């Protein structure tokens, strides 16, 4: 009797000791802060329920538009360039493959402030390439290029998007069997036909899930655009930080509403990513 | 086709090489046509560089320790006793993607106004860093523990009279070195470059220092950029060498 009640007690204590800290940690430092944002986005100064801050998000339309444009364009660029590079590298020699693998691991992690400065040294108004062009009689800043606007940011983001694409897509490209290509060629398919009717349809779920991953990756980027534009270009993460640091006269609830908007976008990204990879699993039986 | 392929790869290679070269050249620039190591020499005398670098390193080590302390027991228990928990843990560990750093820092500063001894020290940053590293640490450790035959190891150890402590510290951990090293290096790379939390909560870590110095001393900032690239490079080489798992995206964007 005593023994079994002792075991009942112990059967709860051990899991609590092993698993409890992780669950408590995630609850306290991830779930509760997020719920707090949800709460404050929906309540006014006196604590009553209101939708006005969420409706106020319409005023931040430009931030969402810029963020979506930047994330979409850089994800598309990353998907295309990274995808083609991955394919070319996969069919190349082994030594090149391991070099590219190592470099993409580094470049995908080389982001934020240092990346911004690397591009300032390259294409900033005193950057090396800018000066070269100038000596050749071409003032790219006069021609409307700016590293500190959307086109510049897309170019900078590509520096971590392309390597990330390489890392994510390589397993899928390695999974393309040689026999499929040979079979298509044996039936008289041109390379273009092979890609249009065999290769791309097989890769499509992987490409789609990689694209949304890249999109989310760019959407949540903060350090890179902050270091490049000092908070001048309106992007969702930048607007949130402006509210937090008191750079703009906005209620904290506006920041909370922006953050909720961001969670919704990232949640959709994650959902789509999961759906695409589930489809992939069914397809490949992996 | 062969030529097109070479041109394409060449252009991609240039895109990745030029910013690094330009940064290197820029870090040696001393105005006009003069080049030299003045920028680097000036850095050596920046006390704040050393204090910020040291702070970031301390935070990185603490992040590794806290991550391992809460994750290893939980994942171990999941593999040993409660495999049903895996789906739940997978979801939890993916949450930091849905709640990105800038959102988390907003939530944390709204939710935690105190206690003063916690939120006013830079070591407070360790908490969000553990959260940010969670997807990577969780997956590395999950793969590592999944590759061990935990049940047999545990039964063998316990039948020889080992307690839980002995089992974890003398049986499981020594078998898990590869995963531990991989998780630690990824975490260090993330924590060393982290900017969002430190910048908004006003702590002078390495990345914040680079941003600060870049406003007035561009050549020094270029030198630090190279240093930061080297740190990332070293950490990633470690990850790739320490195991076969893929070195993936960090969290410093």
CA distances from B233 to A27, A86, A175 (A): 34, 21, 28
Q: Looking at beta carbons, which residues of chain B come within 8 Å of A241?
A: 102, 196, 199-200
pLDDT band at A70; cut points 50, 70, 90: very high
What residue spans define the domains of chain A? 1-41, 56-284
CA distance A262 to A215: 13
Among chain B residues, CA nearest to A22 = B70
Residues written for chain B: 253
CA distance A180 to B198: 51
Task: Average the pLDDT over B89-105 and give the result.
Answer: 90
CA distances from A198 to A22, B115, B232 (A): 45, 60, 39
By the CB < 8 Å criterion, does B117 face chain A? no
State what percent of residues in chain A have pLDDT above 90: 24
Cβ–Cβ below 8 Å for B225 and A117: yes
By the CB < 8 Å criterion, does B235 face chain A? yes
Stretch 43-72 of chain B: residues touching chain A, C-beta under 8 Å: 69-71
CA distance B6 to B12: 10
pLDDT tens, B144-157? 888 888 888 888 88
Contacts of A72 (CB under 8 A, 6+ apart): A215
Please give the DSSP secondary-structure letter assigned to residue B45: T
Task: Average the pLDDT over B222-246 and give the result.
Answer: 80
Nearest to B121 by CA among B9, B196, B191, B198: B198
pLDDT value, residue A286? 47
- Domain B45-242 sits in CATH at 1.10.3720.10
pLDDT band at A8; cut points 50, 70, 90: low
The runs of H, that is alpha helices, within chain A are 2-26, 32-41, 52-55, 61-90, 94-109, 113-123, 128-135, 150-174, 178-186, 191-194, 200-219, 223-229, 236-244, 252-284
CA distance B59 to B40: 25
* C-beta of residue A122 within 8 angstroms of C-beta of residue B18: yes
Of A136-140, B119-123, B239-243, where does mean pLDDT reach its minimum? B239-243
Of A188-192, B27-31, B77-81, B85-89, where does mean pLDDT reach its minimum? B27-31
pLDDT band at A57; cut points 50, 70, 90: confident
pLDDT value, residue B64? 94
CA distance A172 to A206: 7
Q: Cβ of B57: how many Cβ atoms within 10 Å?
A: 16
> Which of A109, A213, A275 has the highest number of chain B CBs within 10 A, making it the mutation to test binding with B?
A109
Cβ–Cβ below 8 Å for B233 and A106: yes
pLDDT value, residue A2? 46
Top-confidence residue, A5 or A73: A73
CA distance B234 to B54: 17
pLDDT band at A144; cut points 50, 70, 90: confident
| 3-state SS track over B175-242 | HCHHHHHHHHHHHHHHHHHCCHHHHHCCCCCHHHHHHHHHHHCHHHHHHHHHHHHHHHHHHHHHHHHH
pTM tops 0.90, yes or no: no
Nearest to B133 by CA among A7, A29, A191: A29
**CA-based diameter of chain B, in Å?**
75
pLDDT value, residue B244? 52
Looking at the partner chain, which of A159, A252, A259 has a beta carbon nearest the beta carbon of B103?
A259
CA distance A197 to A187: 13
Residue A222: strand, helix, or coil: coil
Cβ–Cβ below 8 Å for A117 and B23: yes
Question: What is the Cα A210 distance to its own chain's centre?
Answer: 10
Identify the top-confidence range among A46-55, A57-66, B237-246.
A57-66
Of 3.40.1280.10, 1.10.3720.10, 3.40.50.620, 1.20.210.10, the CATH number of A56-284 is 1.10.3720.10
Nearest to B245 by CA among B143, B166, B177, B170: B143
What residue spans define the domains of chain B? 1-36, 45-242
By the CB < 8 Å criterion, does B87 face chain A? no
* C-beta of residue A40 within 8 angstroms of C-beta of residue A253: yes
Cβ–Cβ below 8 Å for A220 and B96: no
Question: What is the Cα A98 distance to its own chain's centre?
Answer: 24
Task: Average the pLDDT over A160-172 and give the result.
Answer: 90
Of A120-124, A141-145, A179-183, A256-260, where does mean pLDDT reach its minimum? A141-145
Model confidence at B249: pLDDT above 60: no
Model confidence at B243: pLDDT above 70: no
Mean pLDDT of the residues in chain A: 84
Task: Average the pLDDT over A123-149 and give the result.
Answer: 84
Top-confidence residue, A74 or A99: A74
- With a threshold of 0.90, tell me whether the complex ipTM lies above it: no
Nearest to A201 by CA among A271, A91, A280, A88: A280
B85, β-bridge pairs:
none
Task: Average the pLDDT over B223-237 and give the result.
Answer: 86
pLDDT tens, A258-278? 888 899 999 999 888 888 877
By the CB < 8 Å criterion, does B108 face chain A? yes
- DSSP for A104-169? HHHHHH--SHHHHHHHHHHHSTT-HHHHHHHHTT--TTTTT--TTSHHHHHHHHHHHHHHHHHHHH
Looking at the partner chain, which of A18, A25, A102 has a beta carbon nearest the beta carbon of B77?
A18
Cβ–Cβ below 8 Å for B253 and A160: yes
A244-255 per-residue burial string, b: 16 or more CB within 10 A, e: under 16: beeeeebebbbb
pLDDT value, residue B253? 60
CA distance A235 to A230: 12
Question: What is the Cα B24 distance to its own chain's centre?
Answer: 24
pLDDT band at B250; cut points 50, 70, 90: low
Terminal alpha carbon distance of chain A: 48
Among chain B residues, CA nearest to A221 = B253
Model confidence at A19: pLDDT above 70: yes
């Amino acid at each position: 009797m005593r023994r079994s009640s002792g075991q009942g007690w112990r059967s709860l204590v051990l899991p609590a000791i092993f698993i409890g800290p992780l669950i408590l940690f995630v609850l306290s430092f991830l779930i509760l802060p997020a719920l707090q944002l949800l709460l404050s986005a929906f309540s006014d100064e006196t604590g009553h329920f209101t939708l006005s801050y969420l409706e106020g998000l319409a005023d931040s339309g430009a931030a969402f538009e810029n963020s979506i444009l930047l994330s979409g364009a850089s994800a598309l660029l990353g998907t295309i360039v990274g995808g083609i590079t991955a394919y070319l590298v996969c069919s190349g020699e082994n030594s090149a493959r391991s070099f590219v693998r190592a470099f993409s691991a580094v470049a995908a992690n080389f982001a934020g402030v240092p990346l911004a400065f690397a591009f300032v040294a390259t294409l900033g108004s005193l950057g090396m390439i800018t000066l070269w062009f100038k000596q050749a009689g071409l003032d790219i800043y006069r021609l409307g290029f700016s590293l500190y606007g959307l086109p510049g940011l897309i170019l900078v983001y590509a520096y971590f998007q392309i390597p990330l694409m390489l890392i994510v897509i390589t397993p899928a490209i390695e999974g393309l069997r040689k026999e499929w290509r040979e079979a298509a060629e044996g039936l008289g398919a041109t390379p273009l036909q092979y890609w249009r009717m065999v290769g791309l349809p097989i890769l499509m779920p992987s490409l789609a899930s990689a694209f949304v991953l890249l999109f989310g990756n760019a959407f949540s980027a903060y350090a890179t655009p902050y270091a490049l534009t000092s908070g001048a270009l309106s992007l969702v993460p930048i607007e949130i930080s402006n509210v937090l640091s008191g750079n703009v006269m906005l209620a904290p609830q506006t920041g909370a509403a922006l953050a909720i908007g961001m969670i919704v976008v990232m949640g959709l990204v994650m959902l789509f990513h999961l759906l695409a990879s589930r489809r992939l699993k069914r397809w490949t039986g992996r | 086709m062969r030529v097109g392929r070479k041109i394409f790869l060449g252009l991609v290679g240039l895109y990745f090489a030029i910013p690094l070269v330009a940064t290197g050249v820029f870090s040696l620039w001393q105005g006009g046509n003069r080049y030299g190591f003045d920028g680097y020499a000036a850095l050596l005398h920046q006390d704040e560089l050393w204090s910020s670098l040291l702070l970031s390193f301390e935070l990185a080590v603490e992040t590794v320790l806290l991550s391992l302390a809460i994750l290893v027991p939980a994942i171990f228990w999941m593999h040993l006793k409660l495999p049903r928990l895996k789906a739940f843990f997978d979801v939890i560990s993916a949450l930091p993607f849905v709640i990105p750093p800038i959102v988390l820092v907003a939530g944390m500063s709204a939710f935690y106004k105190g206690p003063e001894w916690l939120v006013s020290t830079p070591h407070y940053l360790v908490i969000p860093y553990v959260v940010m590293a969670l997807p990577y640490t969780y997956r590395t450790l999950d793969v590592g523990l999944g590759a061990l035959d935990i049940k047999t190891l545990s039964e063998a150890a316990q039948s020889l009279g080992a307690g839980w402590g002995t089992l974890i510290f003398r049986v499981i951990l020594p078998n898990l070195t590869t995963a531990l090293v991989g998780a630690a290096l990824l975490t260090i790379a993330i924590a060393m470059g982290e900017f969002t939390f430190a910048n908004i909560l006003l702590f002078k870590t390495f990345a914040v220092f680079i941003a600060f110095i870049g406003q007035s001393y561009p050549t020094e900032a270029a030198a630090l950029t190279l240093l930061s690239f080297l740190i990332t490079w070293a950490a990633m080489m470690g990850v790739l060498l320490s195991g076969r798992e893929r070195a993936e995206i960090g969290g410093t964007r």
